[in-house]
Amino acid sequence: MARILRVNTRNKKVTNEELTGDYAGLGGRGLTSRVVRKEVSPTCHPLSSQNKLVVASGLLTGTNAANTGRLSVGGKSPLTGTIKESNAGGTFSQKLAKLDIMGIILEDKPEPNAHFQTLFINKDGAKFLEIPEIAGLGTYDASARLFEQFGSKVGIMVIGPAGENTRLASSIQFTDPKGNPSRAAGRGGLGALMGSKKIKAIVIDSEGAKAPEVADKEAFKAAAKRWAEILVNHPVTGQGLPSFGTSILINIINEAGTLPTKNFRDGRFDKAADISGEKMVEFINQRKGVAKEGCHAGCVIQCSQKYCDEKGEYLTSGFEYETVWAFGSNLLISNMDHIAMLDRLCDDLGLDTIETGTTVAMAMEAGIIPWGDGQAAIDLLKKIYDPKDYLGAIIGNGTSFTAEAFGVDRVPVVKKQSLPAYDPRAAKGVGVTYATTPMGADHTAGYAICQNILKVGGDIDPLGKEGNIEVSKNLQIATAAVDATGFCLFVAFAVLDTDDALDTIARLISARFGINFTADDIGKTGIEILKDEYSFNRDAGFTLAHDQLPDFFINEELPPHKVKWDFTAEEMQKAKVEI
Amino acid sequence: MKIQVSCFATLSKYNPPDGYLEVEDGATPAHILDKLSIPRDEVKIVFVNGQNSGKEVVLKENDRVGIFPAIGGG
Ligand code: SF4
């Protein structure tokens, strides 16, 4: 039976617990948010011993159903002070599932001068190891060293210097099938939470473990076959994402006039073509990179890639639209190699690329470095390697902190988390999500770009108000449920357009556990998760006043459509599940 | 009249040479698709001046038309 590994980081005790009571039947975001709701005081300091870092694989992770290998990481966010679930790819989750571990809870906190530890987990149990050589290293060198010690087949969860120094923009990185730590639980500063527990890395080895069996093999096989068909047959998941990666969005979001440019001053970037997915693929082909890769085995969509520099040397992978935007049009940088280097630096330092891009925008607003200067941005980020560098310390702490440090008043954040790559004034459905999700500004929590721009799952005017609250609410519920299963969120493009997709998912879950799970139960799962999250935030002191975008979106017109943000916080309460 | 036309992703091969197309008054995006011989089933989204106005709207001089296949990401 699936279990939870409870790890006390102070006395180094590890216990195994069954998933019963409040935790029975939960996985992924369902489990991380429930544990945080039940076990973490909402008012605690996020870096204190009261907070917990929770890692969970999804309900379907470890099976051979396509795209089920994603991982949820949760806690009280050091960046926002809200509850947080951050979702990541990489090989870690499937190995966890193979060991029949549904979740890991890191709790308590070592003494301030304690040394960083590595937690090693295999079929025989878990143990703390001190590996002084990796302390202070970037995630690339640290994981290379860990692969040397534990073999190339392990999965690694690791923080970089940013997380070790509890910087608020820090991520947790995960190794991909090629061993690169380029997959991230990026949002919400969870790297700082891991750093506060003095855990540098968790290494997982599933060799020799016997994976848990699905309850009804025949039914599962049939449902998994239909599921793969659904993904492969849809033009977005079957063709668009594999061919061009997520940066295929740059051109269409630019055409739609909602590509945030120069810290959300314009909806179009005159050099968008230079940073587009089409351009990226051109470079990849010239330089012998790889245009399509999966972040875990069993991904049939394969939106990732290997991006090489001019000399043909590996530079980065998992190089996504959000990152290209954050360091590209947002900063007026149009040199793809500079943007790729900034992505690499973030992965190595262990920083959220979205948060860090918008932070560099604050430095540009303040005149610390010039707009559009990619090399200056690279030099700025490198300062974060040095724990004693004060400018590096400021930048590593994210957008809101940096804006305060330099007196910038144009700060694109909700609940202190920075807005991602769609201007909410010209994509109002996703704007409602930014304002109301329990996560702080987050596009993945209710990706209404589907209906606003891409015409997937409906067609709702991005510039008007009608339908945008409802679509955001429905998507927030559906997304929470998807995040409980271990599915990659990109399956949603196919699910929204395919009649029997929800039934197929319900059949997979039913057959996996030998229960009767219906398409209706998927919605109920999402609602339960959101209730845990909203009630945590309420008890942490979040109110209606926090559910709004910054003033400049309300006061300034966005070119080219000349639109302002016009939803009130009261109106948007309807997008939230009632507690 | 002159219309600015861009075709993206898998449709980029249909781009008019200098990014502009000469069409008759009263032309619509549907005419442009025909003129460039773009198979209708490969087209998911057509923007006119950044808005999803459908394929039958009547174009004006210097309008900007964007033509896309099915696209997703995030
Ligand atoms: S589609 Fe992309 S993000 Fe999703 S599982 Fe595949 S490689 Fe990972």
pLDDT tens for each residue of A103-162:
999 999 999 999 999 999 999 999 999 999 999 999 999 999 999 999 999 999 999 999
How many angstroms separate the Cα of A39 from the Cα of each of A32, A35, A358? 10, 6, 32
Residue A363 CA to its chain's centroid (Å): 24
CATH superfamily of B2-69: Beta-grasp domain (3.10.20.30)
Tokens 């875990």 correspond to A296
**Centroid of ligand 1 to alpha carbon of A245 (angstroms):** 9
Is residue A59 pLDDT above 90, yes or no?
Answer: yes
Residue A211 has pLDDT above 90, yes or no: no
The span from the CA of A97 to the CA of A105, in Å, is 15
Angstrom distance (rounded) from CA A417 to CA A85: 13
Atom 2 in ligand 1: which residue has the minimum CA distance?
Answer: A303
Tally of helices (H runs) and strands (E runs) in chain B: 1, 4
Does the structure show a pLDDT above 80 at A1?
Answer: no
Dist. CA A70–CA A57, nearest whole Å: 7
Q: Tell which atom from ligand 1 comes closest to the C-alpha of A304.
A: 7
Confidence at residue A355, expressed as pLDDT on a 0 to 100 scale? 98
Q: Are A128 and A106 contacting, i.e. CB atoms less than 8 angstroms apart?
A: no
By the CB < 8 Å criterion, does A547 face chain B?
no
A97 confidence band (pLDDT: 50, 70, 90): very high
Chain B residue with minimum CA distance to A446? B74
What is the rounded average pLDDT for all residues in chain A?
97
Mean pLDDT over A364-380 rounds to: 98
pLDDT at A276: 97
B62 in contact with A, Cβ within 8 Å: no
Q: Is the dihedral of CA A546, A443, A192, A390 positive or negative?
A: negative
Q: Does B74 have pLDDT greater than 90?
A: no
Q: Quote the minimal CA–CA distance from A170 to chain B in Å.
A: 20
Cα of first residue to Cα of last residue in chain A, in angstroms, is: 31
A303, A317, A319, A495, best to mutate for ligand 1 pocket (most atoms within 8 Å of CB): A303
CA–CA separation, A236 and A71 (whole Å): 23
Name residue A155's beta-bridge partners: A204
At A437-473, the pLDDT tens digits run 999 999 999 999 999 999 999 999 999 999 999 999 9
Average pLDDT estimate for A370-395: 98
In order of A169, A348, A458, A461, B10, the CA distances from B53 in angstroms are 40, 44, 15, 10, 22
Q: Of the given ranges (A121-125, A284-288, B53-57), which has the lowest mean pLDDT?
A: B53-57
Q: Are A49 and A9 in contact (CB under 8 A)?
A: no
Q: Work out the minimum CA distance from B30 to partner chain A, whole angstroms.
A: 18
Domain-by-domain residue ranges, chain B?
2-69
Q: Which of B6, B10, B64 sits opposite A243 (nearest CB)?
A: B10
Distance between CA atoms of residues A250 and A540, nearest Å: 37
**Please, how many CA atoms are within 13 Å of residue A207, restricted to the half-sphere of its CB?**
9
CB contact under 8 A, B74 and A246: yes
* pLDDT above 90 coverage of chain B, percent: 95
Q: How many CB pairs under 8 A join A and B?
A: 96
Looking at per-residue pLDDT, the higher value among A240 and A221 belongs to: A221
Q: Are A444 and A352 in contact (CB under 8 A)?
A: no
- Min Cα–Cα distance to chain A from B70, Å: 6
Residue of chain A minimizing CA distance to B9: A278
Average pLDDT over residues A394-410: 98
CB A294 within 8 A of CB A304: yes
**Percent above pLDDT 70 for chain A:** 100
Chain A residue with CA closest to B74: the answer is: A246
List, for residues A513-534, the tens digit of each pLDDT value.
999 999 999 999 999 999 999 9
Asked if the model's pLDDT at residue B54 lies above 90, the reply is: no
Chain A residue whose CA is closest to B5: A255
Residue A382 has pLDDT above 80, yes or no: yes
Close Cβ partners of A187 (under 8 Å, ≥ 6 residues apart)? A79, A84, A86, A171, A352, A354, A355, A417, A439, A440, A442
Handedness of CA A324, A325, A330, A332 (dihedral sign): positive
Strands A413-414 and A417-418: antiparallel
Q: Residue A267 pLDDT > 80, yes or no?
A: yes
Q: Which of A241, A252, A444 to mutate to test the interface with B (most CBs of B within 10 A)?
A: A252
Q: Contact A443/B52, CB-based, under 8 Å?
A: no
CA B53 to chain centre: 11
Task: List all residues whose CB is within 6 A of at least one atom of ligand 1.
Answer: A 67, 89, 294-296, 299, 301-304, 488, 490
Domain A3-204: CATH superfamily, name plus number: Aldehyde ferredoxin oxidoreductase, N-terminal domain (3.60.9.10)
- The ipTM is 0.96
Buried b (16+ CB within 10 A) or exposed e, A381-411: beebbeeeeeebbbbbbbbbbbbebeebeeb
| A252, A322, A561 ranked by CB distance to B71: nearest | A252
Task: Encode pLDDT of A14-47 as tens digits.
Answer: 999 999 999 999 999 999 999 999 999 999 999 9
Kindly state the percentage of chain A with pLDDT values over 90.
98
B17 Cβ under 8 Å from any chain A Cβ = no
| Closest CB from A248, A257, A463 relative to B71 | A248
**A448/B contact by beta carbon, under 8 A:** no
Cα–Cα distance measured from residue A351 to residue A427, given in angstroms and rounded to the nearest whole number: 27
Taking the C-alpha atoms of residue A458 and residue A451, their distance in angstroms, rounded to an integer, is 5
A456 touches chain B (CB under 8 A): yes
When CB atoms are compared, the residue of A240, A249, A449 closest to B69 is A240
How sure is the predictor about B40, in pLDDT bands with cuts at 50, 70 and 90? very high
What is the number of helices (H) and of strands (E) in chain A? 24, 17
Interface test with A, best of B15, B43, B62, B71 (most A CBs within 10 A): B71
Statement: residue A240 has pLDDT above 90: no
Q: Taking the domains of chain A in order of start, what are their residue ranges? A: 3-204
Closest partner residue to A490 (CB to CB) among B47, B69, B72 is B72
How high is the pLDDT of residue A203? Answer: 98
Position in ligand 1 atom list of the atom nearest CA A237: 1
Q: Which residues of A327-356 are buried (b: 16+ CB within 10 A; e: fewer)?
A: bbbbbbbbbbebbbbbbbbbbbbbbbbbbb
The neighbour count for residue A151, using CB atoms within 10 Å, is: 11
Q: What would the mean pLDDT of B60-70 be, rounded to a whole number?
A: 96
Mean pLDDT of B20-25: 95
Determine the Cα–Cα distance for residues B53 and B29; give it in Å rounded to an integer: 9
A295 touches chain B (CB under 8 A): no
pLDDT at B14: 97
